[in-house]
Amino acid sequence: MAGVLRDTQGRVLLAQRPEGKHLAGFWEFPGGKLEPGESPQHALVRELHEELGIRIDPADGTALIRVPWRYGDRDLLLDAWEFTRWQGTPVSLEGQAIQWEWPSRVDIATLAPADRPILQALRLPAMYAITPADVLPEYIDEWFVRVKAAVENGARLIQLRLPACSAMQVRALAARLQPHVVEHGACLLLNGDIDGALDLGSGIGVHLTSAQLMELDARPLPWGQVVGTSCHNASQLSHAVSIGADFATLSPVEATASHPGAPALGWPQFQQLADSAALPVYALGGVTPAMLGKARENSAQGVAGIRAFW
């Protein structure tokens, strides 16, 4: 169990694993293991009281992400819950250093590996908008206006998927949008263009196709640039985790007009696959922003889509 405590400034509390413990020196979200016969909720209440001297009400928690992880021959399931209310002031009661940090400023490499997906879930928004695939080059200026407006109105994760345009045209569009993206703390992903993302840098990431994903054996961008990927099954999700992707889309959840006849996963299978993957997963395919609640109930980071998001 892990408790993500978020204060009124939006900062989260991190604890450093002390000398003599496994992964000493790494930072993590407070929490711990279940005792025999203990429920997950009671375990988190107990652990946060023992570690930090605070009291939480499990009813105040919001499920964030479940992270299945293996350290050597040891398997664990890190079930992370977010809290914005608790009783008392957190203090170190077990000799661990603690500090409040804004999620966007945390160096992910300083976190214990199993805690890194939790940080990514905190950083990523609930909505992921993808541009329509049928945009012609002569309309690319219109999409500069539309994407810029979306960012100014709160969109924080957008994929430029413009197959009818050349890579240079898409890169030029991304370069024009980049100052606005950075100003608003958003992220713009190029579809499949790793080199373009590397060249552009800050605020620009990449969304890998599932075929690209399976050809990679390492993360293609630095940690400061977001790497998303398309997945359709458990094998692809597992590989996304192994290369250090920040998130995946999993599709199709429901039947879509763009892929008639393609078998839909359905929500039960989506949840099973998302729960088995140690990274945030967006629901894609036949979903709309209005379905965010249902997606969250089924272990999604949020919802992704094309037409319904514009």
Instruction: Flag whether pLDDT at 99 surpasses 80.
Output: yes
Instruction: Flag whether pLDDT at 27 surpasses 80.
Output: yes
Instruction: Flag whether pLDDT at 251 surpasses 70.
Output: yes
The pLDDT score that the predictor gives to residue 259 is 66
Which whole number is the average pLDDT over 228-253? 98
CATH number of 124-309: 3.20.20.70
The pLDDT score that the predictor gives to residue 265 is 96
Q: Which of 305, 277, 273 is nearest to 290 (CA)?
A: 305
Q: What is the pLDDT of residues 130-167, one digit of tens each?
A: 999 999 999 999 999 999 999 999 999 999 999 999 99
Q: Which CATH superfamily is domain 2-114 in?
A: Nucleoside Triphosphate Pyrophosphohydrolase (3.90.79.10)
Mean pLDDT of the chain: 96
What are the boundaries of each domain within the chain?
2-114, 124-309
The pLDDT score that the predictor gives to residue 194 is 99
Q: What is the pLDDT of residues 158-203, one digit of tens each?
A: 999 999 999 999 999 999 999 999 999 999 999 999 999 999 999 9
Cα separations in angstroms, 265 against 41, 129, 254, 256:
30, 21, 7, 11
Q: What distance lies between CA 55 and its chain's CA centroid?
A: 28
